[in-house]
A and B are shown apart, each in its own frame.
Chain A
Amino acid sequence: MDTSLRKLYPWFTLLGLLIGGLVIAAFYKDQHREWKDWQRQYIKDEMARAATPEQKADASRIPVEVRQIVLSDLDRVDRCTSCHVSVEDPSYAGFPLPRSYHPNHDRHPFNKFGCTICHQGQGRATTREAAHGRVEHWDQPMLDLQYIQSACGKCHLPGDVPEAPHLARGRAVFEESGCIGCHKLHGVGGVVGPELDSVGAHRGPAWLLKHFKNPATVTPGSAMPPIKATDADLDALTLYVLSFTGEPLSAYYVSMKTIPGPLAGRRLFEEKGCIGCHSVAGKGGKVGPALDEVAKRHNGEWISSHFRNPSAVSPGTVMPQFNFNEQEVRALTEFLLSMSDTNIVGFMNIPSLMTSVERGKAVYKKYGCAGCHAANGQGGVPNPNAKTAEQVPGLKFVSEGYTKDELRKRIMDGQKEIPVMDPKRPAAPLYMPAWRGKIAEGELNDLMDFLVSLTPKGEKADF
């Protein structure tokens, strides 16, 4: 054989060893995963706790493997339990993370909900940093526990969850601040600002907070006025807005949306128009019986059956069958049983029982007029270069400047072009959106009654 080939032999040996070493290194790196350590720790715990030889044998048979909750309905795979092995075992309560027990999951079983639907983060990941989503190129890091109540709002209505007071408060702030006046949410609202349907999915709490305090710092050129509220309320608002993820829910989860409780019951009671036939505290229809003390006449079982099929328990009744689902039946029942609680009844806002001015005020709130015209029509929100003293005008004297027809036209058609103070400067950013097709005729009439009522008696505008 050619002697020149002999000098290649050491290279063959060296490269052979190098490739072998690299393959081993690649597999070592691949096989060494931190979740395995946590599972071994768990097995060790279980072995130590075992009292009988059978238990010990069982513990020794626990496999070290990727654990995952596959939620095809939600398009999620949550592998969190690969490290958080014992979240479902109450005997691990008080253990340090990641081995501790997760309390209060009875109504959201792990096999149906997984983890990330509430906590966010990256369910498919199996390393700590990546799973918690605190890595580059992952939009949804784990939600700070401070904001965890926003997760309830992804599925449930804010007022329905008694355990999520911050969420309910956030919604109240959202409505009081009139965000809907400029932003659209679930198809309702103005078009001056962007839609909010999925803003919580790609904005974090820090960004939102800054945005509320001073919009222009995070969104250059934004015309949105800062939201004037206490820090606690801004936090609640952030929490509420974080719940707008726009995530579609499959049928199973939709059926779970209504939380059976007096709050949801009251909402259904209002929505379904029960007051048209029944009366509460002497107000309402006279077709059906008064409901003030229904709990004294019937037990919960009877009331529930009545909701499922009225004629089955009250033969000959004229009450229609509403096809409530089981959650809704329970909610309404809970509400009726709590009727004697005056706190709840006292807060009822049943439109047909309110004056047109009261309803108009609700309409004013519903469509977010307050966002620009302030809570009671004082105006004063800055609108640079607008002829009206660089502010959004107040509405207190609107009944003197416009006839009802002019006012109606103004609300329906809006005013896209705002007269400017100085034609050389950029146009005023805020304008009156057109509400035609968005606001119902009855609502508009109520709204105008409310606006007229704003004019203080005996005072005159100094036009």
Chain B
Amino acid sequence: MLISLWNSFRGTRVGRSIFRVGLPQSNLERAQVAISSFFLHFQPAKVNRRSLKFRTTLGLGLISLYLFLILVATGVLLMFYYVPATDYAYQNMKDLEFVVTAGQVLRNMHRWAAHLMVLFVALHMCRAFYTAAYKPPREFNWVVGVSLFLLTLGLSFTGYLLPWDQLAYWAITVGTSIAGYAPLVGQKLKFLFLGGHVVGESALIRFYVLHVIVLPLAAVMLIALHLWRVRKDGGLARPGESEPTRVDMPQVPATKTYGLMELARGTTPAVGINPEDEVFTWPNVVFREILLLMVTIAVVLVLAIFWNAPLEEIANPVHPPNPAKAPWYFLGLQELVAYSAFWGGVVVPGLLVTALIALPYLDRRPKGVGVWFSGERKVALTLFSLCLSAAVILTVIGTAFRGPNWSFQLPWKPVHVEEATH
């Protein structure tokens, strides 16, 4: 019934002006849907049958994208209520909780989706590593992905300050002081971000502008680039892909004119594919994508209904909590900083980011592409797993096992220290 309703709408003048292709009946139309729709043409008309299998990617990248979309939607709604001024920010949180229709659910969704996004972007990166999806010709898309991971951290971190409660204030104070450990530029950088030496009014407005304009715009553009490159680099990494061939621009006289086909270069989906293995994107891929979107929305809703986003006392610059902790994804760093500010706060994270960016250019052997934990990449797998385990363990220690004065404690036996002074 829905279909006939849609068909009759699509039959009208208005309907035809909006939708360039009707509900596809033939293979030609199935291809046209993907190619001629603005929102679907990021994907090719046909994809490898393997892309439909859940275990190929576990849907991690798509989930990250969906979480980003949920964050944009809820974030825009929250902007209607939020005033980035220290006199109002915290009161806005209270108003959202107590008098704005569905305000608390909205904030909960935004908060939990943000945490989930950090988690899923990280998992997506692990997936890309463990299936060797960063190898040629996808090196640059891996670099774009690493940038997106850093952007995600930046988005989450800038958003963390906005509620202007004790949690926010001290997490940002700790987080930015880690940045201050960088040699030469550290203090300048910290001053640039905070607009002062301590977190205050100017830090709030800077973080707000970064959080709602600068970083989301950058993220949207990089996400677009990331998705487009997935298609241009030959779809999802799969075993048995033919060796990528790079065709350089032909050296020809400048006076010559070209047809479009002559200019197309590099690896395209048409390279080395077997028609038997290809299925149409519409409806096979699109339907599964919508299903995953529904699952993501449902999970975020459940979290938002049953668990409230934290909100502590209003920010109090003279009353630090003990211990003051950065957001959870920086607690591994804070743990390292507790051993050595310079090594933990500068050298290790600097090396890690550099290594992540350089990875596809160092590890170029086309071995194990598209295969989980391929036996041909023992060294790479071991090194990455060691770093990952270290990061996870440090984060867990920093989150759960650190009590007052950053002393070791068991999470089920928290240490309480009476404040010695007023």
Contacts and interface: CB of A to CB of B under 8 A. Distances in A.
A125 B94 contact: yes
Nearest to A14: B294
Contacts of B313: 137-139
Contacts of A251: none
Contacts of A11: 291
Given A138-B313, A194-B421, A79 B298 contact: no
A27 B298 contact: no
A8 B97 CA distance: 38
Q: Which 7 A-B pairs have the closest CB atoms?
A: A15-B294, A22-B301, A194-B422, A126-B98, A124-B94, A137-B312, A26-B105
Interface stretch (B232-240, B281-289, B402-410): B281-289
Nearest to A68: B99
A221 B420 contact: yes
Contacts of A18: 298
A405 B301 CA distance: 78
A26 B311 contact: no
B276 interface: no
A83 B91 CA distance: 20
Nearest to B88: A75
B291 A2 contact: no
Contacts of B104: 30
A220 interface: yes
Given A5-B283, A11-B291, A79 B301 contact: no
A137 B97 CA distance: 14
Nearest to B297: A19
Interface in A13-68: 15-16, 18-19, 22-23, 25-27, 29-31, 66
A219 interface: yes
A344 interface: no
Given A2-B284, A19-B301, 13 more contacts: A2-B283, A8-B287, A12-B287, A15-B291, A19-B298, A26-B102, A27-B102, A30-B104, A30-B105, A66-B99, A79-B98, A124-B95, A126-B99
A30 B279 contact: no
A1 interface: yes
Contact of B418 (A23, A29, A199, A218): A218
A63 B102 CA distance: 20
11 contacts: A5-B287, A8-B291, A12-B287, A12-B290, A16-B294, A19-B301, A22-B298, A22-B302, A25-B305, A30-B104, A199-B422
Contact of B294 (A2, A19, A25, A26): A19
B87 interface: yes
Interface residues of A, number: 39
Interface residues of B, number: 37
Interface of A: 1-2, 4-5, 8, 11-12, 15-16, 18-19, 22-23, 25-27, 29-31, 66, 75, 77, 79, 122, 124-127, 130, 137-139, 194, 199, 202, 218-221
A12 B298 CA distance: 12
A25 B304 CA distance: 11
Contact of A30 (B91, B102, B165): B102
Contact of B98 (A8, A12, A31, A127): A127
Q: Could you tell me the dominant secondary structure of chain B's interface residues?
A: helix
Interface centre among B98, B104, B165 (most CB of A within 10 A): B98
Contacts of A127: 98
A16 B301 CA distance: 13
A242 to B, nearest CB: 15
A127 B297 CA distance: 28
Interface centre among B302, B319, B418, B422 (most CB of A within 10 A): B422
Interface string B142-177: 000000000000000000000001100000000000
A25 B287 CA distance: 27
B6 to A, nearest CB: 15
Contacts of B302: 22
A353 B178 CA distance: 65
Interface centre among A2, A26, A29 (most CB of B within 10 A): A26
Contact of B295 (A15, A130, A139, A202): A15
Interface string B66-110: 000000000000000000000100010011011101111100000
A278 to B, nearest CB: 45
B305 to A, nearest CB: 5
Contacts of A4: 284
Contacts of B295: 15
Contact of A124 (B87, B91, B291, B305): B91
